[in-house]
Structure 1
């Protein structure tokens, strides 16, 4: 459920202070930063400063970032041996594309940037916060009132820390008071002039915990930056905030504090009165003034936090509340007579017995108790727990717990049943109000019809980590409609697709349901019991027991071709490149092209997939192939691996990275009549310039295939229109991409219509196959498949066609595939910070690879199947398959699963 890593302390909000903060390092601080610049979002820097009087070793100090939803991560760690001289600076710059562009050279660089509305922090080697600044209330890093975001304008603007009268960075514990906007910025690095540091005084924040009515002394440390030859004195007085003298919270102090000659520290103590009952946390201030001699005040105000830790008696549902953050956050609570439901290596979950459960469906009756080591309790124990309420990255939990077991073998609370209705499939009516899972966190859940929808992800040192699941036995399919969270365009009669809110993660090993490092293939069905948790920004099911009902085997080949059939297929080979960089952009999509050995390995893996998974199609459309030479190499490899003879056909197009469409044809069975590009020289006006319309011009193959008697003529068009990466976005780039995709489809539709109305082709089967980069339904902008097939509906599309071009319409053989098997690509969609996740990223199964058949071909149609080997395996398995033998080598050969269509082969004379 969670690890024993260092944890972020969260405190109750206090008037005038958004957060009560622990003692901060007096010397190391962030003094200037920008999170966006003239060159864009990566044009950013962070300036850090040593405000002390001695060199500061920063080895292992981390620079962390947070987004607006509190998700944190390390951006940079200072190497061993790095130090900052007194009063001097170090500059860190983003090295990403269009990164830091300032004239002051960065001393160190980092690769992952900061969001416009997030936060920054410095952490020591133990994970303790040294300094932090935020630009939203949702940031995990901030002090007091956060700074306003500077927005998304690409301008030279940032924030700089104010300085005290002594020239030291100002640190009052309130970002809004300590920082000022600067434009332009003026970053400083290790070669910049250091700030001369005169003697200064600082007072550190302090806190005490009240556990009874006894008075408690709260000492405040006053630090002098440099020892002086004579005594240094300063006046110290207390000031009310939420804690007041009049209410009897503490005794006032008005005194002189002296730092003796040759010393650097002194203290002043405030007597805090105890409490008899649970109550709110409070705070007061201690202010320094009138320092003697030339000594300045670097930090003149300290916060004194009075933490009431007398336990509040509460039921679990009163502790959890309705939201991710407990209404009793930071408080000491006592909850009794609850049942242990699950036990993990560092904690356990407890739940209210059924007879005491509350009637509010939006609150949870379960919570996690963090012990940090193996608990001594067992499932079924009845326990009393006194603990502090914490929020571990949006997981409510109890920490620092005292646990008393009062009974063994208690009946477990009734599990919530997750099925085809719970969790909800409708984002407008979620199961927990604003989320689909928050009201179940910590509670028992039973799943009778679960399906694993992705192979194991890989995390850190876990090669087989979490999987995604559904609880209704179905895949996480892309359904009709405009993408969830994208406004439906005006004039489009379509709903929004739901975004599959019912999908969640499963960590099978956390509570020992299965052994660690157990792989699972997507498509595996199961039944399980367990609890709901929240980890790494996503709701997660952790089983206490799980039974696999049917394990999905991989690879999973298509059926054997019937002896009387002809087999036509398609496969996007995922950038099947040569080793030469002789195109405008790299074919690989990365910074380098593959080596000769990598090309040879890719060739062997594709051969295993085509031969072992697709079972040797007679005609195979291939997409994303660099050259005829590499395709010929694949044809030869197939001949070496199987008793077949393939010939490669490819004609270069206009893609600046050199990827093309082509064919592999079994010339031991098929006689090729002709191969030609369609409308290859078509142009369009691309942002004021005339450009080729088709990056990968459609390729028409006419061939004679063996039939029951004699031969049958077929026409096959291989296609690969423009990708849809910008389609669901806004702005000129999205409009341009949508228009190009639409015009490509119009061009292809005219070619299809011309072919199927040609007198000599009236009785010839026609198949249009390949990676259409489009769904089998409209996305609300331009239905590429519908346009090419003659089924375009202007009412469902932003771009209007008028009359359909293709008549009679083609039939999409995808419609014959069982619904749960309709996918050829797996895309993890980031929907933003919605439904209680930050962000909500959901793997979605999509059909991008289609087979459109004319009337003649449909009359001969037998079957369509996708060959499974690339999309359903664990990430680690795909990598391991490269060194495997036989058909297993096929897994991971591409990021698409290919398909085959089998048709009855009748002699042409019978048509």
Structure 2
């Protein structure tokens, strides 16, 4: 998938600049009389004073942000009786604020609804006071007591459906903080909140942020995370945690660790995670000692097939030894490995290079050095800059296979534009080209990876393997978006891609009903998704991760949700195998020092 990290770093750098450009369009500011913070926040997500000038808004400074979107939070120590109205608000200064925590201030300025990520993102807005004039009345005041956020206070329901007459937006709906989690968090926007002994459910990332849950029993995985198992059953206890302190002091945590004691700070909202506790007081990290998993070694008569997204691997990367060790030691040297996101020989250099032999050979050599087999490999180079991903990187799928255990059936003619087909050979299914690509000219693969198909032989039995990397979820609305239910626009293309792959598998099974077919890779969609249902069809395939308990079904950890993106789907003959075994090998997604953002998957069976 394309790198989102470099784009995000740039976005953080220009956050202050973008604030004015990403605000809700409003009429020219009118003047409002002096109002309290809860009046500004109102009982919906949109301030009744949006676009108006306000005077002498009083509050105590609870937090000061000197980076990114610079400004400070103030909170009224004299709340009203309405639980829907927040008592805190962010004051956007654009430059480093000249106030301190504990200052009693009055603020005059314009009330603005700022949409992180811009209006097109569909995100909710943050009520702010912009272009402020600030008067410090006194200093050293006690800040208002934080609101405790815990399993009891957060409702089980995630969000109401939006107003159909307003494109399903929830913005104008009166908040119901005792009924819906997103309404509850919105009713605390800008206020100091506190969580206690919060378990980490997404590890610390390169931007000094992590995710915790205030509901430790909510869809818990056996390793300490929170599993995402349904579009209609959201995990409401998730909160992102950032810090107002030094980056060097931010806890380096893995999933299952705990921020012991209390973590306290203003509740913010951002495009990278929604509601976020921006801590001025961080709990003490207590390690759970999570270890990377190791799968079982395949038996002599078992074929082990794996999929592993190595995240934009190119020859300049420093992770070859670690990837090799993972394949040899954690995956136990599978017989066939489908690699996703192998970049060309000079990575993101955009000069027309498409070959990846240097990248693949460097990985194979590292595997040998780690004590593994000398894999052989097959792939097809994409046409330059046609398959999506990082511009110039030309990511593609690659088959590694252990020639001492399995052989590849080469059938000439497979190239970038030639479509592989299915024929009958001595009464059994065979590919017309191997390796080949599935319908590469079809519009379903525009700016996306074309499936790589190959014909393998193991102990006299043919196994067809289809390596996939479907289009990413880029462009989908966030779970916390203002539009509910959220739009998942990217799945339209994945549904088209799944239809083509399923049809190809059906062609194989029409020729040979008992053929062994494995379709695997980074499907970029969940095991319960429409994409998976289309791939499975009328039983042509079955997503084998569903053989695991629900608490173990994940290969990726995003915004506090452990979820399935990587899948291995199998034909009926494999599903019926008496010693069928599946393993999602958690070596990356739960760790702060991950070498890829995906966990590999391994299937073992007797063909």
TM-score (norm 2): 0.62
- Answering whether residue 545 of structure 2 is matched by residue 814 of structure 1, we say yes
- Paired with 1:368 and 1:629, the residues of 2 have a C-alpha distance of 51
Kindly provide the CA deviation profile for residues 563-614 of structure 1, in whole angstroms up to 9, marking residues without a partner as x. 676532111334555xxxxxxxxxxxxxxxxxxx517x45444323323443
- Answering whether residue 160 of structure 2 is matched by residue 415 of structure 1, we say no
Q: Which structure's CA Rg is the greater one? A: 1
Deviation at 1:362, TM superposition (A): 0.3
Aligned pairs for 1:475-490 within 5 A = 480-481=230-231
Kindly provide the CA deviation profile for residues 129-181 of structure 1, in whole angstroms up to 9, marking residues without a partner as x. xxxxxx9328xxxx669xxxxxxxxxxxxxxxxxxxxxxxxxxxxxxxxxxxx
Deviation at 1:865, TM superposition (A): 1.9
1:717–1:603 distance in 2 versus 1, CA, 3 Å: same
- Paired with 1:471 and 1:722, the residues of 2 have a C-alpha distance of 34
Equivalent residue, structure 1, for 2:467 = 719
- Paired with 1:137 and 1:344, the residues of 2 have a C-alpha distance of 26
- Checking the alignment, whether the CA contact within 8 Å between 1:825 and 1:897 is kept in structure 2 is yes
Aligned pairs for 1:485-504 within 5 A = 503-504=238-239
- Checking the alignment, whether the CA contact within 8 Å between 1:422 and 1:431 is kept in structure 2 is no
Deviation at 1:638, TM superposition (A): 1.0
TM-score (norm 1): 0.44
- Paired with 1:667 and 1:467, the residues of 2 have a C-alpha distance of 43
Equivalent residue, structure 2, for 1:521 = 254
Could you say what secondary structure the match of 2:363 adopts?
A: helix
- Paired with 2:438 and 2:86, the residues of 1 have a C-alpha distance of 61
- Paired with 1:718 and 1:690, the residues of 2 have a C-alpha distance of 15
- Checking the alignment, whether the CA contact within 8 Å between 1:418 and 1:447 is kept in structure 2 is no
Deviation at 1:860, TM superposition (A): 0.9
Aligned pairs for 1:796-875 within 5 A = 804=538, 806=540, 810-819=541-550, 821-825=552-556, 846-855=563-572, 857-858=574-575, 859-869=578-588, 871-874=589-592
1:655–1:736 distance in 2 versus 1, CA, 3 Å: farther
Match of 2:533 among 786, 797, 815: 786
In structure 1, the gaps of 5 or more residues are 1-64, 76-113, 120-134, 146-241, 243-279, 282-310, 378-384, 459-464, 482-496, 578-596, 705-711, 793-803, 828-841, 878-890
Aligned pairs for 1:621-640 within 5 A = 621-625=338-342, 626-627=355-356, 630-640=359-369
Equivalent residue, structure 2, for 1:569 = 306
- Checking the alignment, whether the CA contact within 8 Å between 1:349 and 1:368 is kept in structure 2 is yes
Could you say what secondary structure the match of 1:437 adopts?
A: helix
- Checking the alignment, whether the CA contact within 8 Å between 1:395 and 1:534 is kept in structure 2 is no
Kindly provide the CA deviation profile for residues 355-409 of structure 1, in whole angstroms up to 9, marking residues without a partner as x. x7543120134568998355568xxxxxxx4633666964668952323779x8x
1:363–1:867 distance in 2 versus 1, CA, 3 Å: same
- Checking the alignment, whether the CA contact within 8 Å between 1:420 and 1:471 is kept in structure 2 is no
Match of 1:652 among 361, 380, 384: 380
Deviation at 1:641, TM superposition (A): 2.0
Deviation at 1:541, TM superposition (A): 0.9
Kindly provide the CA deviation profile for residues 865-890 of structure 1, in whole angstroms up to 9, marking residues without a partner as x. 23322x4455xx5xxxxxxxxxxxxx
More strand by share: 1
Aligned pairs for 1:266-345 within 5 A = 317=38, 321-322=42-43, 325=47, 330-332=54-56
Equivalent residue, structure 2, for 1:359 = 81
- Checking the alignment, whether the CA contact within 8 Å between 2:437 and 2:453 is kept in structure 1 is no
- Paired with 1:686 and 1:735, the residues of 2 have a C-alpha distance of 17
- Paired with 1:569 and 1:770, the residues of 2 have a C-alpha distance of 9
- Answering whether residue 80 of structure 2 is matched by residue 136 of structure 1, we say no
- Checking the alignment, whether the CA contact within 8 Å between 2:241 and 2:277 is kept in structure 1 is yes
Higher relative contact order, chain-length normalized (CA < 8 Å, sep 6+): 2
More helix by share: 2
Deviation at 1:649, TM superposition (A): 2.6
- Paired with 2:453 and 2:503, the residues of 1 have a C-alpha distance of 10
- Checking the alignment, whether the CA contact within 8 Å between 2:42 and 2:85 is kept in structure 1 is yes
Match of 2:458 among 703, 723, 742: 703
Equivalent residue, structure 2, for 1:506 = 241
- Paired with 2:139 and 2:365, the residues of 1 have a C-alpha distance of 72
Deviation at 1:897, TM superposition (A): 2.6
Match of 2:98 among 369, 372, 388: 372
- Paired with 1:448 and 1:696, the residues of 2 have a C-alpha distance of 45
Could you say what secondary structure the match of 2:533 adopts?
A: helix
- Paired with 2:293 and 2:237, the residues of 1 have a C-alpha distance of 30
- Paired with 1:418 and 1:723, the residues of 2 have a C-alpha distance of 36
- Checking the alignment, whether the CA contact within 8 Å between 1:341 and 1:444 is kept in structure 2 is no
Match of 1:445 among 194, 203, 208: 194
1:682–1:671 distance in 2 versus 1, CA, 3 Å: closer
- Paired with 1:735 and 1:862, the residues of 2 have a C-alpha distance of 29
- Checking the alignment, whether the CA contact within 8 Å between 1:469 and 1:505 is kept in structure 2 is yes
- Checking the alignment, whether the CA contact within 8 Å between 1:569 and 1:621 is kept in structure 2 is yes
1:365–1:695 distance in 2 versus 1, CA, 3 Å: closer
Equivalent residue, structure 1, for 2:161 = 428
Aligned residues: 485
Kindly provide the CA deviation profile for residues 68-126 of structure 1, in whole angstroms up to 9, marking residues without a partner as x. xx975269xxxxxxxxxxxxxxxxxxxxxxxxxxxxxxxxxxxxxx97xx68xxxxxxx
- Checking the alignment, whether the CA contact within 8 Å between 2:63 and 2:266 is kept in structure 1 is no
Deviation at 1:520, TM superposition (A): 2.7
Deviation at 1:747, TM superposition (A): 3.1
Deviation at 1:639, TM superposition (A): 1.1
Aligned pairs for 1:459-474 within 5 A = 465-473=208-216
Kindly provide the CA deviation profile for residues 778-797 of structure 1, in whole angstroms up to 9, marking residues without a partner as x. 34xxx3x33443xx3xxxxx
Kindly provide the CA deviation profile for residues 742-794 of structure 1, in whole angstroms up to 9, marking residues without a partner as x. 44223322245247625xx5xxx654332334432334xxx3x33443xx3xx
Equivalent residue, structure 1, for 2:324 = 607
Could you say what secondary structure the match of 2:98 adopts?
A: coil
1:614–1:351 distance in 2 versus 1, CA, 3 Å: farther
- Paired with 2:491 and 2:307, the residues of 1 have a C-alpha distance of 29
- Paired with 2:437 and 2:504, the residues of 1 have a C-alpha distance of 13
- Paired with 2:47 and 2:493, the residues of 1 have a C-alpha distance of 42
- Paired with 2:264 and 2:156, the residues of 1 have a C-alpha distance of 15
RMSD: 5.1
Kindly provide the CA deviation profile for residues 521-549 of structure 1, in whole angstroms up to 9, marking residues without a partner as x. 35544464424422656532134352545
- Checking the alignment, whether the CA contact within 8 Å between 1:418 and 1:445 is kept in structure 2 is no
Match of 2:601 among 899, 902, 906: 899
In structure 2, the gaps of 5 or more residues are 1-10, 115-125, 163-174, 343-354, 386-393, 415-419, 422-435, 478-488
- Paired with 2:445 and 2:277, the residues of 1 have a C-alpha distance of 53
